Structure 1
Amino acid sequence: MAVHLISDVGDQVELCFNILQHSGIMRGLKIAPSQPRNSKESNSRMSIESRKFRDDINGLRAWAVIAVVLYHFGVLGFSGGFVGVDIFFAISGFLMTGIVVNGLEKNRQPGFSVLDFYMARARRILPALVVLCVFLLVAGWLLLLPLDYKMLGLHSLFSVFFLSNMKFWREAGYFDTQSHEKWLLHTWSLAVEWQFYLLLPLAIVSIWKLSPGRKSIFTVLASSLFFSLALSVTTTPTNPSAAFYLLPTRAWEMLAGGLIFLLANRWSLSQRTCFFLEAIGFGLIIGSIIGFDSSSSWPGWRALVPVTGTCLILLAARSDSRWTSPSWMQWTGTRSYSIYLWHWPIVVALTYAAQQNNVLLVLTGIMLTLFLGHLSYHLVESPSRKYLSRISFNKSAATLTLSTLLVAGLGLSINFKQGINGRFDPALESISQEYLNRNPRRDECILVSGFESPSCTFGGDTLKAIVIGDSHAEAVVSAVSAAGISHAPNSAVMEWSYNACPTLQGVHNFAREQCGQFVDWAINKLEFVPKNVPVIIINRHAQYALGNNENKKQSDIPQVYFSKPYATPEIEFLKEYSQHLINTACTIAKERPVYLVRPFPEMGTHVPNSMARPATIGTIKNISLDIASYHKRQDFIWRAQDIARDKCGIKILNPLPYLCSEKECFGAKNNRPLYLDDNHLSEHGNKTLVPMFVEVFRDSDIAPTTKNLK
């Protein structure tokens, strides 16, 4: 989760930070002295706009970055540390609104310039980001396998163009396991902030031209805030990834900070009032850090808690607060941008080496984060900002543009060359590339929307079996076809698969609205298929009933429902799920042979990556799942299948003898992965099941050609 608070300074605004020079790695900051508005107001807070340096904001930045860093490193007690990004968004909106409004209110020439505003932001953000991207691309050449290097190249391109939030939105959710494999995932918030920076000055300047004054600006920003907040609250439950990554559902957090700036100097608050506002604000922030976790729907209404806390602290504006003024917090706040840039790649490196739970290495990673953040601040961030401020606008723009294009060009070239093969031992590269060894007709044959299957056929012209199911069915249909051809060369297999859709009548899937319609369509379509053609049903039932188990962690959130939704897989829900499995299988078995396939072992980790990545540093990792863990997760499905067998004459196909020993199930054999990810068999792995599927074809009769069945 990238976090960035722009605090670039200049003569044009009194609000921005005037970052002081540091002579030692932990030397305290000297804070600009505060001056009371007059001698009679010694008990009142100083006007927010009369201070050039807000040490309370600098300390608040430290709170935010510490929370996020410790959350990402998995430190106990920081389960909701991701709220740091919401804190930064609110602070950023406060400061940026102040820059624009103060610039417009100044009468001296040349006044506020939108282009100067953009350039100031670019001077602050781009140099350290470009250096990070170049470092990762160079290090990736030495350490990353082709598929990983290809992904890094593409992400570098999107990052420097501030479009990474849109890219990551399309790839996976922020809290998904795959996110910990993306070296530049944290740049998503840089993209959100930059997009906000592009629009904010244009909006405020337009309002100012129509109706000068803060009142009009406040009205428009407040209206925009309520619209964005409403959109966030309504979108988070239905499309959480979009709500998390995209500007329209995040803008309200920055607008909240902007409104606080517009309101702050209209109120004169006593020191006592400010003390309580700040205490409440930090109470909300601490409560968010402790009380929320990755299972909390985010942002939605929950993000109001840390954002409100941040706004109260901004409103209190207490420069001498014990919450924010200690020298170590000022040191951290000043370097928060660089610290944040460097912390996430270290987290990903630990994940790649499968050492994310090694306490000693985690502590080392945190210390390395602080060290690299300090170096980045002193060697890149601060010097580049000063240099680019001294040279002309055109030279500064050219320098930033060329450096951006350099990174983009490198990233595009790496992606175009498929991550540049040949840098590692071919056997090692082949392990990682098992990820690509999937059904070549996947995009053509598996449904992701609608409900009528394209009815793809594999093999010859004589239909011998129909495979119905989800992506697990799609992943092994070629093995079914190979089994049919081995029995009779002209055999054909038809595929009816729907991604993330269990073959259960009456099912309601949160991710696939037409899943139930697909199951009804398939059952109705079978009426036109000769009754001697068997049906093989393959599903990843545990995922729908119990939730995902990536990294061997159970999410405990059912993904489907029948009579009513359940928040957890309660006994009543599992009974209902099992009964629908039995009823659906028996319905199909009334007129034809039906085979239910036992659940495939879910390895809980991406097998090709988990094998190949540690091998790049000389560590060989064996990927397996113990039988006890398999049965703990899958036994309720076995029981339901057994009931269907006894009740309706359904036959059971068990893959465990082919994928497991008596004690464990294997993620690989002969040092080659059997899986293309954590739960789908690859085209290589599924061939181990050909002997199992041959049973389906042994006693089958000749059926009409597929031409008459499509």
Structure 2
Amino acid sequence: MARRTDTHFRPDIEGLRAIAILLVVLYHAGLSVVPGGYVGVDIFFVISGFLITTQLIRELSNTGRIAFGRFYARRALRLLPASVMVALATILATWHWAPPLFARTVSADGLAGICYLINVRLAIQGTSYLDATQAVSPLQHFWSLAVEEQFYLIWPAVLALAALAWAKRASLTSAAVTLSVLGGASLVLCVWQTGHSEPWAYFGIQARAWELAAGALVALAADRLARLRPSAAAALSWSGLLLVLCSALIYDDATVFPGYAAVLPVAGAALMIAGGTAAPRFGPILVLRRWFMQEIGRLSYGWYLWHWPVLILAPYVLGRDPGVPLNLALAGAALVPAAMSLTAIEDRIRFHRSLRARPRHGLLLGGGLTATAAVLALLSLSIPVTVKGRGTATNTAHVLAAPSAGTAGPDDAAQLTSLIQTSSYATAMPGNLVPPLTNASHDYPNDGDCLATLGQTSVGPSVERGCELRGDVASPTIVVIFGDSHAHQWFDAINTIALQQHWRLALLAKAGCTPATILVDRTGSAQSYTECQQWRASAIDQINRMRPSLVLLSSLYYGNGATDGEWAQAWLSTVNAIRPSGARSILMDDTPDLRGHSVPDCVSGDPLNIRRCDLPVAQAIHTSRNQAVTGTLTAVGVKVIDPTPWFCTSSVCPVVIGNTLVYRDGSHVSATYIKLLTPLLAPLLEAR
């Protein structure tokens, strides 16, 4: 952004920045008035595409070339001082206030953010359901900066090559054609990926480049737009503002985004900038030029950087959920460091005469800042996370040691009940905890990567990986595990039983996909999970072809708005669909629902007060839904296993039982504890 004394300064764009940041901040603070406030980021993309391309075209027109060193030096001086400062401050604050396991993750996010690769990191994490239950990072918002920087890395070279490919008089035309082709391809990819791999569509440069390209196309047409009649220019600008506000007001978390939906705010921002090029007196500039809007626009970059860490870290500092009113106050308070960093650091660096006159100095400063911050982030990652417990708890494995027959008797169940009761009174994490907190998040079932991904629509890939060949693969007796990751988490126990009983075990499990015939939302979003419906139908066909002796079904009871009765009928529909296979069906009720409450993070935050991490039964167990489903299925001869007594007392579900950490994240039971339950589960499974 140039100084206000710059002849190229556009107060309407400064005001549009204010609209964008206000939408983002209000949305992040939880204000329901702007349920689609996330479109503010899309507005920023359009603005950036316009301003960067304007600078490049001006330079290309004046000198016939693009000075890449000068361009990247300007970008480094503009973006790096503030972003590096916020990233390092956030890492330090997280290590001070948040649980150490969470802080370690934030350090990794900080390293990715400093290197402008955090959008790739988030996309990878988003496609891995096993990592989807982690707490939201206070540096997650750096993804949009990463997208912009990746665009800046590519676009100057593309623009220069397009200009060289044509005669100089046609350079703008060649650039526009090139940009239209690339932007169109990006939009098509965005729409496709939104339906097939939403994390990559949301965070990836390949699916967001068209938004920056929209602003760039307006820049290429600026000379013609400047000759528009004032009335036409004003109409364009007001129409654009209407589109922007409509998208912020009518979109919400259930909107399929970005996809086609992103066209509305992007088109709105582009129209506002296009109309403003002719500087119509009666356009939105009447509002945008006001002092308040100009100041908010001036502080928008710093406010964007600071407000999100403040909101995410506030619960750790305050010890409670702030709520919307306090969130609004905290977000507003983030304007203070934004203003201070702009005045004391950003402006002093980017307007420094020596740095602006000598691009090499700017590049060296930018490289030095990045390298220093990266080293500090790496050093924070190297800090050993040592969470010390107290005392030695009863070894859970000894309590549940299976007799030679591989099953437990009534005394073993009674001993576990007693151990759970005793554990519910424990206040400190035991010193002999297994698995260790530092390894808990990786305590997965040893199934050979058979959990189908979110985008998978058939069981074909699982079959190709041999997921139907577990247990005793030579046995003619087939047992199937059918469900989502909450069915998948039982694999180690059931596989052990299958080996003992000489069953062949088939694992048909898909992330976030209940076997109940009901439409659920995709994990981590409010979008309909159509891939689940397709995969479920494929799995049922496969089961009917296999003709197993037993099918064990289980899943998380997703809160998709369906009633208990609708869930019961959905389970019944699935049971009826697999009856042609001749298999006996057993339903495993869900394990305690953590509701995203990451147990390892919680325990590491205060290892001497782990009772605050325990789960009240009233919240962790969906009693009414369990009863509705159980009543419906038992009436048609389906056996239902309720694992609640293996996890909870009558009032609480402790997160540590004996010396064993029961949960590996904010949704799943640790593989270590599941294995210990093998002798209790074995007598309940019968394959005829």
TM-score (ref. length: structure 1)? 0.76
Report what 2:396 is aligned to.
Answer: none
Report what 2:670 is aligned to.
Answer: 682
Compute the displacement of 1:340 (Å). 0.7
Q: Distance in 2 between matches of 1:163 and 1:361?
A: 32
Q: Distance in 2 between matches of 1:365 and 1:618?
A: 28
Counterpart contact for 2:492–2:671, Cα < 8 Å: yes
Query: Is 1:259 matched with 2:217?
Result: yes
Counterpart contact for 1:61–1:336, Cα < 8 Å: yes
User: 1:46-61 residue pairs with structure 2 within 5 A?
Assistant: 51-61=7-17
- 3-state secondary structure, aligned to 1:542: coil
Compute the displacement of 1:203 (Å). 1.4
Compute the displacement of 1:137 (Å). 2.8
Compute the displacement of 1:314 (Å). 0.9
Query: Is 1:137 matched with 2:148?
Result: no
Taking a change above 3 Å as real, the CA distance of residues 423 and 396 of structure 1, as seen in their structure-2 partners, is farther
Compute the displacement of 1:666 (Å). 5.7
Report what 2:75 is aligned to.
Answer: 121
Q: Distance in 1 between matches of 2:503 and 2:97?
A: 45
Compute the displacement of 1:466 (Å). 3.7
Report what 1:499 is aligned to.
Answer: 510
- 3-state secondary structure, aligned to 2:31: coil
Query: Is 1:72 matched with 2:35?
Result: no
Q: Distance in 2 between matches of 1:68 and 1:54?
A: 22
Residue type at the aligned position of 1:181: V
Q: Deviations over 1:83-105 (max 9, x none)?
A: 01110111111111111111111
User: 1:23-38 residue pairs with structure 2 within 5 A?
Assistant: none
Compute the displacement of 1:156 (Å). 2.0
Aligned counterpart in structure 1 of residue 157 of structure 2, from 187, 198, 202 = 202
Report what 2:248 is aligned to.
Answer: 289
User: 1:148-163 residue pairs with structure 2 within 5 A?
Assistant: 148-163=102-117
Taking a change above 3 Å as real, the CA distance of residues 243 and 654 of structure 1, as seen in their structure-2 partners, is same
Compute the displacement of 1:330 (Å). 1.3
Query: Is 1:18 matched with 2:10?
Result: no
Report what 1:540 is aligned to.
Answer: 555
User: 1:71-110 residue pairs with structure 2 within 5 A?
Assistant: 71-107=27-63
Q: Distance in 2 between matches of 1:331 and 1:391?
A: 28
Taking a change above 3 Å as real, the CA distance of residues 425 and 393 of structure 1, as seen in their structure-2 partners, is farther
Q: Deviations over 1:77-134 (max 9, x none)?
A: 1211110111011111111111111111114xx9631221112111111111111222
Report what 1:247 is aligned to.
Answer: 205
Taking a change above 3 Å as real, the CA distance of residues 445 and 390 of structure 1, as seen in their structure-2 partners, is closer
Residue type at the aligned position of 1:196: F
Aligned counterpart in structure 1 of residue 596 of structure 2, from 605, 626, 638 = 605
Report what 2:187 is aligned to.
Answer: 229
Residue type at the aligned position of 1:604: R
User: 1:496-645 residue pairs with structure 2 within 5 A?
Assistant: 496-500=507-511, 502-503=514-515, 510=531, 516-526=537-547, 535=550, 537-540=552-555, 542-543=557-558, 554-556=559-561, 577-584=570-577, 586-588=579-581, 590=582, 594-608=585-599, 611-612=602-603, 615=606, 620-626=612-618, 630-635=622-627, 637-645=629-637
Counterpart contact for 1:503–1:584, Cα < 8 Å: no
Aligned counterpart in structure 1 of residue 443 of structure 2, from 417, 429, 438 = 438
Compute the displacement of 1:675 (Å). 2.5
Report what 2:486 is aligned to.
Answer: 472
Q: Point out where structure 2 has 5 or more consecutive residues left out of the alignment.
A: 391-427, 520-528
Compute the displacement of 1:434 (Å). 7.2
- 3-state secondary structure, aligned to 1:172: helix
Counterpart contact for 2:183–2:213, Cα < 8 Å: yes
Counterpart contact for 2:77–2:350, Cα < 8 Å: yes
TM-score (ref. length: structure 2)? 0.78
User: 1:398-409 residue pairs with structure 2 within 5 A?
Assistant: 398-409=364-375
Cα RMSD between the aligned structures? 3.9
Q: Distance in 1 between matches of 2:541 and 2:598?
A: 35
Q: Deviations over 1:640-683 (max 9, x none)?
A: 422432xxxx4221123333455666656579753223332223
Query: Is 1:301 matched with 2:260?
Result: yes
The number of residues matched between the two structures is 615
Residue type at the aligned position of 1:184: L
Query: Is 1:193 matched with 2:214?
Result: no
Residue type at the aligned position of 1:393: P
- 3-state secondary structure, aligned to 1:265: helix
Compute the displacement of 1:695 (Å). 2.7
Q: Deviations over 1:288-325 (max 9, x none)?
A: 11111121111112112111211222122248723211
Counterpart contact for 2:69–2:360, Cα < 8 Å: no
Taking a change above 3 Å as real, the CA distance of residues 616 and 357 of structure 1, as seen in their structure-2 partners, is farther
- 3-state secondary structure, aligned to 2:220: helix
Report what 1:704 is aligned to.
Answer: none
Q: Distance in 1 between matches of 2:375 and 2:144?
A: 22
Taking a change above 3 Å as real, the CA distance of residues 635 and 316 of structure 1, as seen in their structure-2 partners, is farther
Q: Deviations over 1:57-89 (max 9, x none)?
A: 111111111111111111221211110111011
Q: Mean Cα displacement is larger for which, 302-311 or 610-619? A: 610-619
